[in-house]
Amino acid sequence: MGSFIYNNQNYTFEQIKTGNWFIKDDYIDQTFTFCKNWLNDQEEFELQTSGSTGTPKKINISRSQMEVSALATQSFFKIEPDSKLLVCLNTRMIGGKMMLVRGMKWNANIYLTKPEVNPLLLFDENQKIDFCAMVPMQIEACLSDKETAKKLSNIKILIIGGAPSSADLIDRIIQSKINAYQTYGMTETVSHIALAKIEGSELVYRTLPDVRIGTDDENRLWVEAPMAKEKRLQTNDLVQLIDTHSFKWIGRADFTINSGGIKIQAESLEAQLGKYIHPIYGNVSFFVIGQKDQKLGEKVVLFIETSSKEEKKAQELLTNLKENLQKYHCPKNIYFLPEFVKTDSGKINRTKTSQICF
């Protein structure tokens, strides 16, 4: 039987099942309350979608959906019983909850740490971890610190979700020889339904066992998965289908910018921009979006999360972009904000952020 480990204290699954924990801590209390409900065979759980591409909504997820998802991931990675899992995501959200479910279904030893930007700072470097999930922001923070970069590379299997990894981050992961996988999924499928091993600049996603995929007439991905309630989920993600079990992700159809009749995929453009933005502004967050334009229909504009508004820097960036990007791909304006609007799960809310300036 597995256990939970927090602040060097061990709690058996049986202790949590009976509500026998004595920690006055909001994070641990809400984490263990979910685990208690799970261990007492609660059949349904209410979860909230991230709201990164629309209005956040609450949905009900069944126990069986979560169990199927956890077992499919176990099968994909061939995880053994008594493995060691590190849970460092927000356990109010589906990503964190699914890490808890995996640990309980796998009879694992579950190490808990609060969802900090760099969750490995206080973690014992001698403690071996078999499986862990992080968001890109956490990976970047870990890699920026020499000690935590070493701890990160010691994790046997690392999965990355919540948002796509930038081209720069992918390069750093490969250079650091980290065994990492980018995930693809949604709340409706209770976490990922496909994973892409990070070993090259182009990510190829492969589905979990028993997951079927295809595309509609507009090359938007549909998913048939045993961990989803709906028989077929139609997504708004543009993909390049390789075969019935693998695909390359292009981006969100609703993030497509039509500028002068040229269709520009926001995420694909963003993957090119980091190498021009980061040398000038550092490791900042950014995104592009289409702004209404009388002549072009839409024009590409760039948002950068920074307090720096030096005209010289902005001009240097624009010059570099004009010299290296195609005409319609080059941002026509740059907006600087000290902080982007984020969803509860930490994703950038593009619509609400852009509304500050438009």
The total of other beta-carbon atoms located within 10 Å of residue 123's CB is 19
- At 52, which amino acid appears? S
DSSP, collapsed to helix, strand or coil, labels residue 236 as strand
- One-letter amino acid at 22 equals F
| Phi-psi label, residue 151: left if phi above 0, alpha if psi -120 to 50, beta otherwise | alpha
Is there a contact between 325 and 272 (Cβ–Cβ < 8 Å)? yes
Task: Give the CATH superfamily of 260-355.
Answer: ANL, C-terminal domain (3.30.300.30)
Supply the pLDDT for residue 151. 96
CATH superfamily of 3-252: ANL, N-terminal domain (3.40.50.12780)
Could you list the pLDDT tens digit for every one of the 358 residues in the chain?
789 999 889 999 999 999 988 888 889 999 999 999 999 999 999 886 655 545 566 788 999 999 999 999 999 999 998 899 999 999 988 899 999 999 999 999 999 999 999 999 989 888 999 999 999 989 999 999 999 999 999 999 999 998 888 888 999 999 999 999 999 998 889 999 999 999 987 899 999 999 999 999 999 999 999 999 999 999 999 999 999 999 999 998 989 999 988 999 999 999 889 999 999 999 899 999 999 998 889 999 999 999 988 889 999 999 999 999 998 999 999 999 999 998 766 778 998 999 998 8
Q: Are strands 297-305 and 286-293 parallel, antiparallel or unpaired?
A: antiparallel
Distance, CA of 132 to CA of 155 (rounded, Å): 7
CA–CA distance, 243 with 110 (Å, rounded to integer): 36
User: pLDDT at position 54, please?
Assistant: 53
pLDDT at residue number 61:
92
Given CA atoms 243, 249, 252, 257 in this order, what sign does their dihedral have? Answer: negative
CB-count exposure of residue 201 (10 Å: 0-12, 13-18, 19+): exposed
Q: What is the pLDDT of residue 87?
A: 97
DSSP code at position 54: S
What DSSP state is assigned to residue 232? S
Residue 316 amino acid letter: E
Report pLDDT for 206.
Answer: 98
Q: Following CA atoms 17, 19, 24, 26 in sequence, which dihedral angle do they give, to the nearest 10 degrees?
A: 60
User: And the tokens for 271?
Assistant: 């993957």
CB-count burial class (<10 Å; 0-12, 13-18, 19+) for 320: middle
User: Which residues are paired to 305 by β-bridges?
Assistant: 337
Q: What angle do CA 331, 335, 338 make, to 5 degrees?
A: 140
Backbone angles phi, psi at 234, to 5 degrees: -95, 120
pLDDT at site 51: 53
Query: Which residue in 87, 80, 68, 79 sits closest to 133, CA to CA?
Result: 87
- pTM equals 0.85
> Within 13 Å and on the Cβ side, how many CA atoms surround 160?
25
Domain ranges of the chain: 3-252, 260-355
Contact (Cβ atoms closer than 8 angstroms) between residue 158 and residue 187: no
CA distance 27 to 20: 16
Token representation of residue 205: 């996603």
Distance CA 133, CA 162 (A): 10
Which pair of tokens denotes residue 53?
Answer: 């591409």
Query: Could you read off the pLDDT of 104-142 as tens digits, one per residue?
Result: 999 999 999 999 999 999 898 889 999 999 999 899 999
Phi-psi region at 7: left, alpha or beta (left = phi > 0; alpha = psi -120 to 50): left
- pLDDT tens digit sequence for 134-169: 999 899 999 999 999 999 999 999 999 988 888 889
Residue 49's pLDDT is what? 64
Query: Quick one: CA dihedral 60, 65, 67, 72, positive or negative?
Result: negative
Contacts of 322 (CB under 8 A, 6+ apart): 330
pLDDT at 66: 96
Using CA atoms, how far residue 148 sits from 33, 93, 124, in Å, is 30, 25, 10
Which residue reads 């939970």 in tokens?
A: 4
